[in-house]
Structure 1
Amino acid sequence: MAKRPDSSRPVKSGKDPHAIIHTRAKASKPLQKPLDQHLAALLNPALTSETSRDGFGEAPQAAFTASENEALRSLLSTRLEREEGEASPDPSAVAAGGANRKGERLPTLPPSPDALIGAPATVEALSKLLTEGDPRISKDRPWMPHRPPRPEKTEGGIRFASVSGYEPAGDQPQAIAELVDGVRRFERDQVLLGVTGSGKTFTMAKVIEATQRPALILAPNKTLAAQLYGEFKSFFPNNAVEYFVSYYDYYQPEAYVPRTDTYIEKESSINEQIDRMRHAATRALMERDDVIIVASVSCIYGIGSVETYTAMTFGVKVGDKLEQRQLIADLVALQYRRTQGDFARGSFRVRGDVIEVFPAHYEDRAWRLSLFGDEVESIAEFDPLTGQKTAELDYVKFYANSHYVTPRPTLLQSIKGIKEELRARLDDLVRSGRLLEAQRLEQRTTFDLEMLETTGSCAGIENYSRWLTGRKPGEPPPTLFEYLPDNALVFTDESHVTIPQIGGMYRGDFRRKATLAEYGFRLPSCMDNRPLRFEEWEAMRPQTVHVSATPAHWELERTGGVFVEQVIRPTGLIDPQVELRPARSQVDDLLGEVKAVAAKGYRSLVTVLTKRMAEDLTEYLHEHGVRVRYMHSDIDTIERIEIIRDLRLGTFDVLVG
């Protein structure tokens, strides 16, 4: 956690009125905190309450005194006089004034009659929204899920054809036939109740093959998603099977704790391999019909909109008239980096009349464009490691190196909207006497705006996603579900775990960002950078098959209690017997059992309560000659996949987790 440095808290001096702003680090509590139009739209007018005007703050904070308010106003005035050479006698205008690219003042507009809808930021209203959902969506449904137009696909794809050495057996043939029949009768929900080991993944693959429809496989965690990805890759080696999970190896979200006055800056570590696979997934949905996406629940979080993602593409074919400078400028606009040394994914290099580009969605292939004057003479695909040419191409299509890339006209329009929101929010904070929050918000947002104007991006650009995507306040963010074609199928694997996660994602995210917006760290529109609410996911998802050994009440309610049963395993195996043994000698007993199992050529799984216990038990077993590995939440995504693969290959005999 990063606390505010001590240098910002010098000793209070009565001689210097400006010192008050440094000694007063706590956020002030206004007498009233009416929500502006953005936050009110999220809570919606149905939750209006005129009786309470408390804010989102976690703990009450002392208000500034009149002398402190005057000192803050004086400081803001002095700073702006120094920057612009002229003073503004109106403290509201001073606090509301931002700087645009040229350093000019943002004019203060009169309050709009629609600026406040009347929904206060009350804990009661927030709790009601979180527990009951948005009535406009769950009851009246006045909006339709956004289905953006998609460009014509250049690759098309081929028919789904599963490759397997096995034929459906046990309950599988009947389950496949019933599910396919339900899909063709356009049943929106079906439940596949299958016991562990009954081949539910194989059944899903056969349903996809029979219906010839693209599919999204939704898994509750990265590890299971990786396992499903490997299985579907083996079932459909000639089709586009892609992997879409969170690309963070480490993620500490931005947060503020008013009780201790602690601001926690966002820290993250992005896994480049998973980022590439995410780009490959969205590109496949845009270019092919034979697509299977295996995703975790993180796919309900916002990414760039389909409109801007497809708008920021361009194609090049042999014989085109194209200036080298224009091609370089287009690649930079797609956030490709120019380099001469490290030729990595998402970069390009120029060597005379030859431009080499490493596309964002490739791992071991790059493109070499040879120009003759202003004409594209040839396009080749080559291995970026060896430089050896692997294929001659007639046409290539470049996709952006980021899902958040935005066309320049859209970016400029977004900046205008952000400035207007900033101006209105600053006026609101100043009227409430919250000058410290106003100064903080103005400083942070102005810096972000300058970065957006100069480079087209900034740290935390996702917090401005509503403006960049053109959505209205409170509307669902663009997610992977908007990339899915209209005829797609969704399979929720382990639905009794997956579906509750979808409903819970939004709550914690909203509370954290509401605090950031309340105390001037972010504009209120940052709360539109969020995961889908459950009712939004429910409205946006296509036909769905819920797969579980223990389907929950919600899934069975959606199907009227009807489910497709898959109990008899193709292998004919039955469930193993469960033995209860005393804990007094459990470690020695475990050591003997795993050695006996390993001697037969089998592997063992051992579960413990904590990560420390997993590491200690692994060390103990290793000291006694057991080939053992451990796996817990500190192991990153790619390494988990490697551990599971090694377990299957017999590289080690025992996995502790």
Structure 2
Amino acid sequence: QRTQFDIEMLQATGVCPGIENYSRYLTGRAPGEAPPTLIEYLPKNALIILDESHVMVPQLGAMYNGDRARKSTLVEYGFRVPAAMDNRPLKFEEFNKMRGQIVYVSATPGAYELEQTGGDFAEQVVRPTGLIDPPVEIRPTEHQVDDLMSECRIVAEKGGRVLVTTLTKKMAEALTEYLTENGVRVRYMHSDIDTLERIEIMRDLRMGEFDVLVGINLLREGLDIPECMLVAILDADKEGYLRSRTSLIQTIGRAARNVDGRVILYADSITKSMQAAIEETDRRREKQKAYNAEHGITPASVKKNISEVLHSVFERADYVENSRAIMGMAEEEQAAFQNPAAFQKYIKRLEDQMRKAAADLEFEEAGRLRDKIRKMEAMDLGLTGTMTNPRLANGWSVTSSAPTKPKGGKKMRVSKRR
């Protein structure tokens, strides 16, 4: 009955709920054959670049395994037809067979990438800004929180920022509460925080709304905070995924954007991962120092537009030109981005205009203003697209340019003319 209903929906509308049940038949693929994917449309001479390859390569295999584990249970109990198993990500072997030339890019390449190179790889250790990797210091875990609080105050007085990594969410929240009670401007960030809220937290950190950010596993790849003068890693000797060689090197690298950057590892013993991370950091420092001395380069902190960090969670260049101009926008709109108060005032004026247009039944104009508000708010957050859930006045629908109900609670009736 369900299948018959879906077939009727496909014939009538071209779509149906649970379309993955029928993707094998719609694409004409044989059972077990690789599904159509974007990689099939790339030309044979295309060059694929896998950024942060130490994360991307394991994910290529994990996507298929995770999808199969979920769907096998659904198929077993009749919630999906068996053909749904073929609407899946590529297996790693299938990806390897279909891809053309590929470049793996990572500060900490994994075993697979190093095996593929056969020992012949390009290493880019020198930075255009002349910055060197930060010095790493090891301190005992006894009184580590009080020592950290003292360091946070020193850095805050210099106008810098501090990144702190803990092992658990509960520890991050407890540490944030303790530091707040002692007068430190601090916030925490972990996987329970929504993506848009994370963006706001990162922007507030760079703008100086607070000085210390506590996290777990998010303060690693791609986090680019030039104002960061100190990275503190608590319980660094607790060997595991969060304190592995790769994780430590990536976290240490967050302090490499500031000329005064440094790292403190709180540990009572030196693990193999700690030793490997420190040795790799020292090796890079020596190369960077030698290059700077040979070419007469004076290290300088990264200069980066604050909104730039919101454009992507992945790393950009070491230097980005600081330009406030936004292409294709009127001067009035440009001025609105100069400070939060001006922006809120401009958005309020647009909302009033939208409300008036809707009241005059000028729905096209109201829709245009609604879209403009969405675009402005998205750009204010550093996004490139439109917001799916924009902030509108109370009583206004997300998808409509007219209010859902007028003041007084009475329902609004709108007649439609054909």
TM interval, shorter chain, is: 0.3 to 0.5
If the length of structure 1 is used for normalisation, what is the TM-score?
0.31
Structure with bigger RCO (C-alpha 8 Å, 6+ apart)? 1
Structure with the bigger percentage of strand: 1
The structure with the largest alpha-carbon Rg is 1
Greater fraction helix: 2
TM-score by length of 2: 0.47
